[in-house]
Structure 1
Amino acid sequence: MDLKETLMALEEKFWQASSAANVGLIQSYLTNDALTVGTFGVLDKRTTIEVNKDQPPFLFWHIENEPQVLQLTEDSAVIIYTATAQRQGRDQFTVVISSTYVNRGGLWKLAFHHQTPV
């Protein structure tokens, strides 16, 4: 599996974990110093986990374009793509996402996640 496939597989796991409010998976997926940024502000790891506990599931989510990868170092990379999604009881939304991963001990972990509404 190449780097793009590896990182997109992790992104898909995060979408699934967020949809199912699987905070255990989310917790293991994030670095201890992870930050999430969007219209909701800046969230640290603890707050990201807390926010996901109370979210309704996604009715759907899908990737709109071919993801791009920018490898920063041997052990860090950013994946960028546009996604459209809708949570139960909420409006559909489209966002440009950039997720920065670091490889720690042979495992890719999410260190920084940013969403910009389209």
Structure 2
Amino acid sequence: MTEAEFWKMEEKYWTGGSDYARSVTRDDAVFVFPYPAGILNAEASMKGLDGAVPWRSVTFHDRSFTHQGPVAVLAYKAHAEREGEATFVALCASTYVDDGDGWRLMSHQQTPAAIAEAGA
């Protein structure tokens, strides 16, 4: 896959809904979300998507991309919007692996920008 295709996949991960997320997430994936969610396995993270208000849009800033063999890492600052909520701004990282069934998410982490900036 090209770098542009990885970024499109990441955008769809945010906006494509729970069915899409399930289709491209490994069963042993790990998620690190802001409190109170915390560290979740794939099953718990996917359950959290059920019934959640979907992200209407997301834009990526300060992009970083690394691809070595069957592993790709995307790091970025996300600005995501949901209906009726303030824009969510976070520093994020996603790791994808090509496990023989195509590229699938192995790990995703989010740190709210306000927390990241407070620690600077």
* Band the TM-score falls in, shorter-chain normalisation: 0.7 to 0.9
State the one-letter code of the partner of 1:109: R
Question: Is 1:8 matched up with 2:4?
Answer: no
Query: What residue ranges of structure 2 are gaps of 5+ in the alignment?
Result: 114-120
**Cα shift readout 1:58-82 (whole Å, capped 9, x = no counterpart):** 34321223x21123x4101211111
Secondary structure of 2:31's aligned partner: strand
Q: What's the % identity of the aligned pairs?
A: 28
Match of 1:51 in 2: 48
Corresponding residue of 1:75: 70
Equivalent residues in 2 for 1:59-70, closer than 5 Å: 59-65=56-62, 67-70=63-66
1:105 corresponds to which of 100, 107, 117: 100
1:40-59 deviation digits (Å, cap 9, x = unpaired): 20111111111111211334
Pairwise CA distance, 1:109: 0.5
Identify the residue that residue 117 of structure 1 maps to in structure 2. Answer: 112
Find out whether 1:95 has 2:94 as its counterpart: no
Unaligned runs of 5+ in 1: none
AA partner of residue 70 (structure 1)? T
Structure 2 distance, partners of 1:60, 1:16, is 6
Describe the SS at the equivalent of 1:50. helix
Instruction: Tell me how far 1:99 sits from its aligned partner.
Output: 0.3
- Tell me the TM-score normalised to structure 1 length: 0.83
SS in 2 for 1:64: strand
Give yes or no for contact 2:30–2:41 (8 Å, CA) kept in 1: yes
Q: Which residue matches 2:29?
A: 34
CA RMSD of aligned residues (A): 1.6
Q: Following TM superposition, where does structure 1 have runs of at least 4 consecutive aligned residues deviating by more than 3 angstroms?
A: none
Give the CA deviation at 1:6: 2.4
Amino acid at match of 1:30: T
Q: Is the 8 A contact 2:11 2:58 kept in 1?
A: no
